[in-house]
């Protein structure tokens, strides 16, 4: 894969519970390690400090203002310029988590992923190809309940509160309006590995033929 110009930037957006992370992992497997790098919006949350469970429940992480979009943009531009980015990994306010320093190296393909990447106009303007991962609302909610319960230890009541008051309104305001403008929309209602691997293989082959052959 040879690129004479700037790296090719792929934006992958999707709501909570859409299966975006699973899709992303499958997608990355179709490229060699030195061909692709990933920069994730989740690592650009502005630290909210330690919170009680009740404060965490009420705090709305699903707003663009919770993201340091200027640093996110600067780091994407650095990668486009071939520079290495060093970034603290966000730990979702877990006080016992060991904070890792991420070393993000530039590559011919840069994948930018996150909830608001299409809403942040300056970031959206840098994207050469956009993919929207979506799923039915009930399926997305079931995935969110499972993930937040298992990985983050949140009670189901708290997950439902956030879903109805934060997640769905944010999806409708900051993500859904851009769905039809994306180059590809992937419906992921099954999370069947074979199905998603086939879809990601088709997209990556298509991109190779279109842009890298």
Note the pTM of the prediction, 2 decimals: 0.89
Determine the Cα–Cα distance for residues 27 and 22; give it in Å rounded to an integer: 9
Per-residue pLDDT at 143 exceeds 60: yes
Annotated domain spans of the chain: 8-212
Q: Tell me the average pLDDT of the chain.
A: 89
Listed residue (148, 134, 118) closest to 196, CA to CA: 134
Per-residue pLDDT at 68 exceeds 90: yes
Q: What band does 213 get if pLDDT is binned at 50, 70 and 90?
A: low
Q: What band does 3 get if pLDDT is binned at 50, 70 and 90?
A: very low
What is the structure's pLDDT at 58? Answer: 84
Q: Which residue has the higher pLDDT, 209 or 15?
A: 15
Mean pLDDT, residues 145-164: 85
What is the structure's pLDDT at 2? Answer: 46
CATH of domain 8-212: 3.40.50.300
pLDDT digits 0-9 by tens, 168-198: 999 999 999 999 999 999 999 987 888 888 9
Residue 35: phi and psi, rounded to 5, are -90, -25
């Amino acid at each position: 894969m040879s690129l004479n110009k700037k790296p090719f930037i792929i934006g992958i957006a999707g709501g909570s519970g859409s299966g975006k992370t699973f899709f992303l992992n499958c997608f990355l497997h179709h490229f060699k390690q030195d061909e692709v790098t990933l920069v994730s919006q989740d690592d650009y949350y502005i630290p909210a400090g330690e919170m009680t469970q009740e404060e965490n429940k009420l705090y709305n992480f699903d707003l663009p203002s919770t993201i340091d979009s200027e640093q996110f943009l600067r780091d994407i531009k650095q990668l486009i310029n071939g520079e290495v980015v060093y970034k603290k990994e966000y730990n979702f306010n877990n006080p016992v988590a060991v904070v890792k320093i991420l070393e993000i190296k530039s590559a011919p393909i840069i994948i930018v992923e996150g909830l608001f990447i299409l809403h942040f106009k300056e970031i959206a303007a840098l994207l050469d190809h956009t993919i929207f991962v979506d799923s039915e609302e009930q399926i997305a909610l079931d995935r969110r309940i499972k993930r937040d319960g298992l990985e983050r230890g949140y009670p189901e009541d708290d997950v439902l509160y956030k879903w109805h008051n934060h997640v769905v309104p944010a999806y409708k305001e900051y993500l859904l309006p851009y769905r039809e403008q994306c180059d590809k929309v992937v419906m992921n209602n099954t999370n069947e590995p074979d199905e998603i691997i086939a879809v990601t293989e088709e997209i990556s082959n298509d991109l190779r033929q279109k842009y890298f052959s």
